Structure 1
């Protein structure tokens, strides 16, 4: 698997009009009253919309045969914002395989995407692809030992996965009950990226920040979230960064989350 490290995934230019950022904002939980997220005359594009534009990169690695696309899952995500996305236009991106970590029974592929607007890294967990003698890679950040500084409850919508998949991630696991059952799930699950951003919007509000002023975001997906679930978010302040962990009915679903706003 080490032969994949450094592999170029090429370049791609994705164009969009103001409809897609508005649909995205609604899909991740923006309210109709959030006019600067859902009204084209005042629109500020959420920085995480970039992750839908770059979905082609992890898809390209799977299509190239690096791992079994039917069993690989999205393990974690990182995003660093360079400058705001325009309301409409074209974004040119390049992508490569930054790292391949050997976890024994699985491999973790890190797909890095760069553009003038952002840098993003997908960590893809591929069962059965490990054991090639490579480095295990860094450990995940642990939950802070101190008591949380704050907490939030974030409701998701039963229709949220059906709406979010229109932005590009159309894996059947998120819409088709039969596909979900084949993957060992009782019903379709919410996209990890949708879950992560769904908690980021109310987090920004609780901090007195605007979600479009996001500078950095990351999180690790540890358990599935189902559309309609209510997430309990605990937060810790660390200088200018907020650390967070999300759970559903006491089960942790997102760990090692951190966000920083301008």
Structure 2
């Protein structure tokens, strides 16, 4: 069995020190499409160090180490082919605003292994804290084709229904033809996003955009459109990756305002499609909680 669920769940947490600076933050922002137009005041908050605001989704790449998907494959009890792996979902909970520079301790462990029959889903949780306390918690859902069927618990399967009513805002964001190559510089070197032969072996016609790049582009669009360009207001963000985006396409991002799940908060429901492919879904059940 390529995944030993008991061993993965029982393994000791992996603890490492991570550091980042404003150059890492600015590179991440460029990787998710910030800086257009280059001298626009709203974009300079993402690209100019003297007025830098950190988009919270930077937390998914802070420290420059392997992203949750790759990190999960190196955990004890997990021995699978990278070509069989997809990033199925990502959640992020902010305990404090992400600083533009810092050093922190990241503690990672597998907290769930779901048997989906023909596939398995691993949940890798990473908790990050510095000398002042917790900073953020990330959960990466990792879908592994052909790794299920051992009789384990199936895990949650309920999915939220489609949003009701017309969206409060709809925006389109172009994906540069070289965007996956730029985003790879944040630390995600999975060849699926650059190597045509590897992409074809994994079942895709050509390299695809990172799910976390779509995730970041979507959060930026919501912050800029409905949160007055104030990323520090974000408290949590989660989404499921349900389809691929190819570099050179455009995202159509639909946003609905909702009541928040926690007292004193509001939320935004998000759905994203590929604009040039009849809005084929690429990100679903998106939920952004904000102050």
Q: 1:7–1:209: structure 2 CA closer, same or farther, 3 Å change rule?
A: farther
Q: 1:145–1:260: structure 2 CA closer, same or farther, 3 Å change rule?
A: closer
Gaps of 5+ in 2: 129-133, 260-265
The reply on whether 1:52 has 2:55 as its aligned counterpart is no
Q: Partner of 1:13 in structure 2? A: 17
Moved more, 199-208 or 97-106: 199-208
The reply on whether 1:199 has 2:218 as its aligned counterpart is yes
For this pair of structures, how many residues does the alignment match?
262
Other structure's SS at 1:131 match: coil
Q: Is the 8 A contact 1:105 1:130 kept in 2?
A: yes
The superposition leaves residues 156-182 of structure 1 with CA deviations (integer Å, 9 ceiling, x where unpaired) of 111111100000001111111222122
Normalising to structure 1: TM-score of the pair?
0.93
The CA distance in 2 between the partners of 1:61 and 1:129, in whole Å, is 14
Q: Is the 8 A contact 1:177 1:188 kept in 2?
A: yes
The CA distance in 1 between the partners of 2:66 and 2:219, in whole Å, is 20
The CA distance in 2 between the partners of 1:227 and 1:56, in whole Å, is 20
The reply on whether 1:222 has 2:242 as its aligned counterpart is yes
Q: Is the 8 A contact 2:218 2:253 kept in 1?
A: yes
Other structure's SS at 1:141 match: coil
Q: Partner of 1:98 in structure 2? A: 111
The CA distance in 2 between the partners of 1:162 and 1:137, in whole Å, is 34
What is the root-mean-square deviation of aligned Cα atoms in Å? 1.8
Q: Partner of 1:155 in structure 2? A: 174
Q: Partner of 2:263 in structure 1? A: none
Q: Is the 8 A contact 2:83 2:201 kept in 1?
A: no
Q: Is the 8 A contact 1:57 1:95 kept in 2?
A: no
The CA distance in 1 between the partners of 2:250 and 2:67, in whole Å, is 30
Shift of 1:16: 2.0
The superposition leaves residues 19-56 of structure 1 with CA deviations (integer Å, 9 ceiling, x where unpaired) of 11001011112123322211111112221111012645
The CA distance in 1 between the partners of 2:235 and 2:188, in whole Å, is 23
Runs of 4+ in 1 over 3 A off after TM superposition: 54-58
Q: 1:143–1:234: structure 2 CA closer, same or farther, 3 Å change rule?
A: farther
Q: 1:237–1:188: structure 2 CA closer, same or farther, 3 Å change rule?
A: same
Q: Is the 8 A contact 2:272 2:284 kept in 1?
A: yes
